[in-house]
A and B are shown apart, each in its own frame.
Chain A
Amino acid sequence: MAQTVFAPWEDPEEKPLIEFRNVTKRFGEFVAIDDLSLAIYSKEFFALLGPSGCGKTTMMRMLAGFEDPSEGAILLDGRDISGVPPNRRAVNMMFQSYALFPHLSVWDNIAFGLKREGQPKDKIAARVDEMLRLTRLNKFATRKPHQISGGQRQRVALARSLAKAPKLLLLDEPLGALDRKLREETQFELMDIQEKTGTTFVIVTHDQEEAMTVASRVAVMDEGRIVQVATPSVIYEAPISVYVADFIGDVNLVRGTARARPETPSVAAEAVAGPTAPEPAAAAAVAPNLAAPEQTASERSAAEAALPVDPRAPQPNALGEWLHDKVLFPILGRRKPQQKLLPAPSPQERATSDRPQTAPPRDAAQAKPAPAHADDPDALAGGGIVIDWAEGQPPVIATNGDAALDGKPVVLALRPEKVSIGKAALDMPNTLRGKVIDIAYLGNISTYHVQLADGSMIKAQTANTRRLSRRDITWEDEVWVGFSATAGVVLEE
């Protein structure tokens, strides 16, 4: 990292190394690449990412010279290279199968391209040795490809394609044949070598983790088109379409209709308070759907009707809960049903979120007692949109949504790690309640699959920073999930 930020694509003066200009590639009737334009800059580590059949391999083969575009032009250093045969291009490729020549030793494989240039023998030997050192293969120079391991073969393929010092190196699923651990190591090795040699790398992969790890920019492809080109973090945090959001990582997609939200912060606070403040009658309407297995709906409705609770009552802590369950319960009876009522919005508050403009202002501090969220500027921001997404569910607030989307169908893409989960009501602008259906314990993180009242599922993720004892949420538990007003990305359907 010599320069502070490597972003030649943001510099209008910078000339791209490779340019696709309105390239279309057809195979008979089938359109593999559809009017695609793209610029890749020198020294980039560029990833073409997409499912199989999206056209990424065709793009790579056009760069290598094995296919010619049906329409449009591909420029390398400003010169149109369509029609230049692969053996006369300053582009080399590392094949998915490695394509090591089985009848030649490691040394001869690496020297193959150099010999074709007709260089003097000592120069070839020096260059091959350099490549062997770079890829730590000195010991294996005389071996045949079948005598070395998969990881070593991968390095021979890399050394062979780098030996001619190409302007551009193409890597076709370079790590696909390696097992997971080796793949992760090799990813860093690749980045290291790319930086050392200063070669422009274009990698084709269907593995989004791999693309995110190695690439300076990622192009997400679908059906012969590029959907989004951006840095890994932008692709992840700000996908421009449902397709990208869904393809990269894990995501919750909340589909609904947008409604513009007023700009005034006070009203925003009102709306924020809305879904968190419960009201018995509304709760009764929602609750049957969420009935705990051991209770019938009618029992619960009765209990709720009989016991109106202050919605903003402080929640019992673990000690209090223990005291209640072990000491007070035998005397006073069960407390849990009431607690479950807490989150549903009151009719009054529903009204405010339905018609935010006319709703009376409310104290934001009252709605947000937890000091941890007080310094979160987004939580209170005005504007944006609310999304009505299911009957009987509070609308979701997204202050980062474009008010112009008012009335349109939208999708809120929400990463699971941005969704909190708790057994008690969460102090967040958006909270929903549901039941834990599945828990995927991955060691470092756990993903909870929570079923909401309307049957839809939402995934919440927590980092397992503490030991097992702390993880008290288990299957069938009634839980709250919550997320901030800027946690998701609002995408037009």
Chain B
Amino acid sequence: MSGDGLDTRHRGEALRKAVLIAVPYLWLVALFLVPFFIVLKISLSDIALARPPYMPQLDLSAGLAGLRDFFAGLDFENFVFLTEDSLYWKAYLSSLQIAAVSTIITLLVGYPIAYGMARAAPEWRPTLLMLVILPFWTSFLIRVYSWMGILSNEGTLNSVLLWLGVIDVPLQIMNTNIAVYIGVVYTYLPFMILPIYATLDKMDSSLLEAAEDLGCSRTEAFWLVTLPLSKGGIIAGCFLVFIPTIGEFVIPTLLGGSDTLMIGKVLWEEFFSNRDWPVASAVAVVLLMILIIPIVLFQRNEQKQREAEG
């Protein structure tokens, strides 16, 4: 009788748990994992004129033979193509370079802001924090767009500079990589400020007092104490800017020029303009492989931070 109770209870509990796990699990498998494998598979297929425009197609009705044919039809042709056409590897390199440069600029802009926030009077800090987060809630697209009116040849920036007499001819900023850097720094700045602010805010201010007590000047105390202690926040912030920038599409499309090569833009064009799905898929697979390295490094940094905290 007691064994009965045990069984019912365990059965009920197990069923509840199974349902709880299965629903989100299956959702993610169906709409994240399976699509990913489809991309992988198509990247190994050949383009065909019929729709869907790729070969081979898995013919399940043909059974095992169909499966064998299917695998026999897969090859790395698209990946070979990527290495042969300089457009692709240039786009990858250019994406990495733009991401790296804009990450460094974002750090240089973001650190003083985060530092200023952490040193502000405590009653001001929640307001400042909200002011940093607020742009994050407004549309990304609109924030990028807002710079189009400022940077264009007859935009606000050029008008002001001409009026001030600083320049005689409008500066060509729009449709260059500089505009892309500005766009990335502007839209991703909160991602840099928040983790740095978090580490600075946690830092015990008596550490600085101790450093000064031991003979450091304020500047020395900053370089020897504050900066090393905010390393975790800096690394986290840099990855949070670097990783999404690599695959960025909106910013290079709206602010960049025709010579601005970024892989997100290339993938989009490959898919929508050239309708070459296998190559677009191969571009996506390579992009993912490139991203794995910074993502793993980022995870490791996060884990180290967590361990350091307790």
Which 5 residue pairs of A and B lie closest in terms of their CB atoms, listed nearest first? A83-B6, A80-B2, A83-B5, A83-B9, A85-B9
Given B5, B7, B13, which contacts A84 in the complex, CB threshold below 8 Å?
B5
Whether B24 is near chain A, meaning CB under 8 Å from some CB there, is no
- Interface check A135, CB cutoff 8 A: no
Please tell me if A73 contacts chain B, counting CB pairs below 8 Å. Answer: yes
Chain A: residues with CB nearer than 8 A to chain B? 68, 73, 79-85
Q: Please indicate the chain A residues that have their CB under 8 angstroms from the CB of B2 in the complex.
A: 73, 79-83
Looking at chain B, what size class is its interface with the partner chain?
under 10
A64 to chain B, nearest CB (A): 14
Residues of B within 8 A of A84 (CB): 5, 9
Contacts of B6 in A (CB 8 A): 68, 82-83
Query: B3's closest neighbor in chain A, by CB?
Result: A83
* Complex interface: chain B residues within 8 A of A73 (CB): 2
Residues of A within 8 Å of B7, CB to CB, are 83
**Complex CA–CA separation, A83 to B7 (angstroms):** 8
Q: Which residues of B contact A (CB under 8 A)?
A: 2-3, 5-7, 9-10, 13
A82: chain B residues within 8 A (beta carbon): 2, 6
Nearest-neighbour CB distance to chain B for A439, whole angstroms, equals 38
Expressed in whole angstroms, the minimum distance between the Cβ of A81 and any Cβ of chain B is 8
* Residues of B with C-beta under 8 A to A81: 2
Q: Name 12 extra pairs, CB < 8 A, besides A80-B2, A83-B5, A83-B7.
A: A68-B6, A73-B2, A79-B2, A81-B2, A82-B2, A82-B6, A83-B3, A83-B6, A83-B9, A83-B10, A84-B9, A85-B9
- Cα(A79)–Cα(B2), bound, Å: 8
How many angstroms from the CA of A79 to the CA of B1 in the assembled complex?
Answer: 10
B13 to chain A, nearest CB (A): 8
Q: Which residue of B lies closest to A84 (CB)?
A: B5
| Cβ–Cβ < 8 Å partners of A79 in chain B | 2
When chains A and B are docked, how far (Å) is the Cα of A82 from the Cα of B5? 8
Nearest-neighbor residue (CB-CB) of B5 within chain A: A83
Chain B nearest CB, measured from A261 CB (Å) = 54
18 A/B residue pairs, CB under 8 Å, sorted by A: A68-B6, A73-B2, A79-B2, A80-B2, A81-B2, A82-B2, A82-B6, A83-B2, A83-B3, A83-B5, A83-B6, A83-B7, A83-B9, A83-B10, A84-B5, A84-B9, A85-B9, A85-B13
C-alpha spacing A84/B3, complex, angstroms: 10
> What is the CA–CA distance of A110 and B2 in the complex, to the nearest angstrom?
31
Residues in A neighbouring B9, C-beta threshold 8 A: 83-85
- Closest chain A residue to B8, Cβ basis: A83
A85 to B8, CA, bound (A): 10
Tell me the bound Cα distance from A79 to B4 in angstroms: 13
Among A68, A80, A83, A85: residue with most chain B CB under 10 A: A83
A318 to chain B, nearest CB (A): 56
> Which residues of A lie under 8 Å from residue B5 when comparing CB positions?
83-84
A133 to B7, CA, bound (A): 42
Report B44 CB to chain A, min CB distance, Å: 43
A73 to B3 CA separation, bound complex (whole angstroms): 11
Q: How far is the CB of A83 from chain B (nearest CB, A)?
A: 3
**CA distance in complex: A124, B13 (Å):** 30
Task: Provide the bound-state CA to CA distance between A122 and B149, in Å.
Answer: 69
Give the residues in chain B near A80, CB-CB below 8 Å: 2
Closest to B2 in A: A80
What distance in Å separates the Cβ of A72 from its nearest Cβ neighbour in chain B?
Answer: 12
Task: Looking at the assembled complex, report how far the CB atom of B213 sits from the nearest CB atom of chain A, in whole angstroms.
Answer: 35
Q: What is the CA–CA distance of A206 and B3 in the complex, to the nearest angstrom?
A: 34
Shortest Cβ gap from B12 to chain A (Å): 9
**Complex Cα gap A85–B5 (Å):** 9
CB A20 to nearest CB in B, in angstroms, measures 15
Which chain A residue lies CB-closest to B7? A83
CB distance from B8 to the nearest CB of A (A): 8
